[in-house]
Structure 1
């Protein structure tokens, strides 16, 4: 992420033998990929991806069955079958993988490898969000049963030498013919290279050995890695986890908000409960114009946009006494002012009395999808404005975690381009 870690006490990234689709055995590499498991947001997302190609990676990361145990067993069987049938194949030698995403003027490059897991609080890998225990349990069951890291986490660090070390290896590698190249339906082109030269690997690992990283995307999977590591009785493959590391000094990430769908709360009831304590006004659509109004309001203080009844309701100017009463006082002021903090402590817990459980709240990355799902369900979409990256970084440095699902860093790596077996 941010500043160099203490020498000898930084990131430890090692090569691994990547597990990859055999292009000749699938319709196309683009058709077998997926967004990360928690970003499949379109109403027909799973059906769309499963029908696009019978070997789409969602059959492993989001298997469909009646119980968690059956889902996990199904994913493990599918993985074994695809290996036996030659759909997936292990690369012949260990490698670090340079990964590139490009769309228009946006270019992002990073390195994929197996990262040594470090205990919480050691200052090497910095989380910035809380996690939901039930999601960690779900991901742990899947990872344990399949014995595989099915999709990389997205971590960021700040390189000091943009023309040397890891950066030099990444740029040189990107000038060579890639292992694979494909373009997904979102318009992103993806390229992947294997770095197997011992000197290049040494240059990357030595550079990263002085760094610390911020978890940009994948807090639940990182918590899952740590949980499964603790279950092992001896050192081994479970002491490492699959990650993509991006130097944001060279390739800045985009930060977006993650929205909430309140499944059982109609908009009229939501507005009525907030009216005594907030200023609420209707703003003009369409959705992009309403989001622009939200962005402008968020620069001045806490702001939320409610939708789901065909209108857009801008919520601003909370009662200061209410905030003081409902938001914890033992945290930094930057944390207390976060929209996600006020949303959970004041709106959800105090005024709406909605439990933070999947049957009540869905966390959705796509703005249009959140509104559409609220309209269909008769619920409320709560749309948020993104947090500035500097705020995320500063809080993480202080060891302060933000409310769960506060941010969405991107672009996120496509799932399915390279996997890591733990067997």
Structure 2
């Protein structure tokens, strides 16, 4: 993804919007009403924890609980209306872009939140790198359609120059001003938000981003949702834009982590039985999780490798037989795609050896390593722990228009949900 990107006016277009934010005096604390993105919440434990943190936690909007999908979406819309009427949420007085900062120990991430003009994948302005599931897109679309809102920004990255020019210069000037809000969430991350309303600064961001294109780091299902809703609302209007956070990774590199799989209905013993009769090497590791992950990292440097857990031990699975891969992995994709751990997991293990369909009843996708292991032990399933994909591989495939298996990567840190929302009824 080169720093020049598209020609001027053919790239990213980020416009100001009237942010919808919590009124601090009406909630216990800003930290108590925030949440991770909807697909990172580990249900049910994480959901219950967030719901009990504050009666106005944003999880009641992004993951409403009711008997049917229609009832859930209606409940979210009713909750949003009630919180607006009660003054729990209120719109900012004028449209703005928002500089957003996250900080924790040696991690510092800064970017700009705004309403991004939507573009089709064929235009090459916003590049996805993962496949999506239609049922999740349908659910997110119904939620946004019913509430007329974007509750959480997608995380997009672009490659600037790394120098304090253009958008980066605006960000670096802005963070020296008093913030609009500041809070520290229970994960130890501090969050600060500033509005940018000055016409000259907005023009500087606009001119800079017009030469850029972006990679979707997090939020593929929500991006697909934005495109679906835009198609439902032809013409130029609020549905032609979607809420995003843009990060210049030349200035603020993101971390890339793996997303693990929890196989609900496959015990570890069953998984191992299928593997031992095939051309994989399987080794039992009676070590703590950190040491097991170190062994996984070492093995992943040599071949496809996975760590199975759920029976009180860890089992390192690596060195697949090339002939097995040749029979089970499709050949019409680049070698970088064929050699992905996620490709081999889904094509060779899940589809061919374990015969497990990729449905929510069979497979859960969990970002937190310990949570994946704990749930596998608790429920008698198998956690398949993955090693992260290198960011350059993700970008290489995205630029070729090749999508990875869904949930192949987890870029972070992810923006906290609940700091600024976008209501389409205000535009």
TM-score bin (small chain): over 0.9
Distance 1:102 1:202 in 2: 27
- State which of 392, 395, 398 in structure 2 corresponds to 1:396: 398
Report Cα offsets for 1:207-229 as digits up to 9, x if no partner: 00100000000000000000000
Question: Does 2:72 match 1:71?
Answer: yes
Q: Secondary structure at the match of 1:330?
A: coil
Partner of 1:225: 226
Stretches of structure 1 lacking an aligned partner (at least 5 in a row): none
1:300-379 alignment runs, 5 A limit: 300-379=302-381
1:234 CA drift (Å): 2.8
1:160 CA drift (Å): 2.1
Structure 1's 161 and 320: CA in aligned 2 closer, same or farther, altered over 3 A? Answer: closer
1:18-97 alignment runs, 5 A limit: 18-41=19-42, 43-97=44-98
Partner of 1:15: 16
Q: Secondary structure at the match of 1:38?
A: coil
Distance 2:272 2:69 in 1: 37
Q: Secondary structure at the match of 2:243?
A: strand
Distance 2:364 2:320 in 1: 24
Distance 1:80 1:230 in 2: 26
Partner of 1:172: 173
CA contact (8 A) 1:2 1:393 kept: no
1:411 CA drift (Å): 0.1
Distance 1:379 1:203 in 2: 53
Q: Secondary structure at the match of 1:234?
A: coil
Deviating 4+ runs (over 6 angstroms)? none
Report Cα offsets for 1:86-124 as digits up to 9, x if no partner: 000000000000000000111000000000000122110
Report Cα offsets for 1:170-214 as digits up to 9, x if no partner: 000000000000000000000000000000011011100100000
With normalisation by structure 2, the TM-score equals 0.98
CA contact (8 A) 1:283 1:290 kept: yes
Report Cα offsets for 1:229-249 as digits up to 9, x if no partner: 000133200000000000000
Q: Secondary structure at the match of 1:24?
A: helix
CA contact (8 A) 2:308 2:385 kept: yes
Distance 2:187 2:365 in 1: 21
Distance 1:110 1:33 in 2: 19
Q: Secondary structure at the match of 1:83?
A: helix
CA contact (8 A) 2:162 2:248 kept: no
With normalisation by structure 1, the TM-score equals 0.99
Distance 2:9 2:206 in 1: 11
Distance 1:194 1:34 in 2: 21
Deviation larger for 97-106 or 281-290: 281-290
CA contact (8 A) 2:73 2:146 kept: yes
- State which of 294, 297, 311 in structure 2 corresponds to 1:295: 297
1:387 CA drift (Å): 0.2
Q: Secondary structure at the match of 1:206?
A: helix
Distance 1:292 1:42 in 2: 27
Q: Secondary structure at the match of 1:304?
A: strand
Aligned residues: 423
CA contact (8 A) 1:302 1:318 kept: yes
Q: Secondary structure at the match of 2:39?
A: helix
Report Cα offsets for 1:323-346 as digits up to 9, x if no partner: 001101010001000000000000
Question: Does 2:161 match 1:160?
Answer: yes
1:142-161 alignment runs, 5 A limit: 142-160=143-161
Deviation larger for 154-163 or 376-385: 154-163
Distance 2:30 2:162 in 1: 34
